[in-house]
Structure 1
Amino acid sequence: MIIFAERLKELRMKHKVSQAVLADLLHVSQRQISYYETAQDTPSLPSLIAIADYFDISLDYLVGRSNNPGRQ
């Protein structure tokens, strides 16, 4: 899920959200967010949904199924 990793980092940087803040939201460690951003691990479906909701984007965009970040 290289696209997910790239998009997560891009979104986090664009919104000026630290890995620690995102980790708190998802109830995981900051290291886990780092693993997501380097494609060493993949979040659970509930975590993916939480990320999409937090950044107000579509889940399809987050995981690379669409290039349109808007919700449909």
Structure 2
Amino acid sequence: ADTFLWVQEEPSNMGAWGFLRERIEPLLPKGRTLEYRGRKASSSPAVASHGVHERESEELIRSCFQ
């Protein structure tokens, strides 16, 4: 694989992404990249609408397999 994905349901400013990114990237083989897949940075860990949450979750999962 040329690209590795870090996938999390939480917004990018929450969860482990901010902590682990700088620790994982040096371990990747030369020429490989690490990309974030998840919600955009937000002051809230979840959206206020269940429907929006479902759509965002589906989009997130779909983006991982493209």
Mark yes or no: TM-score above 0.5.
Answer: no
Higher helix share: 1
Query: Of the two, which has the highest radius of gyration?
Result: 2
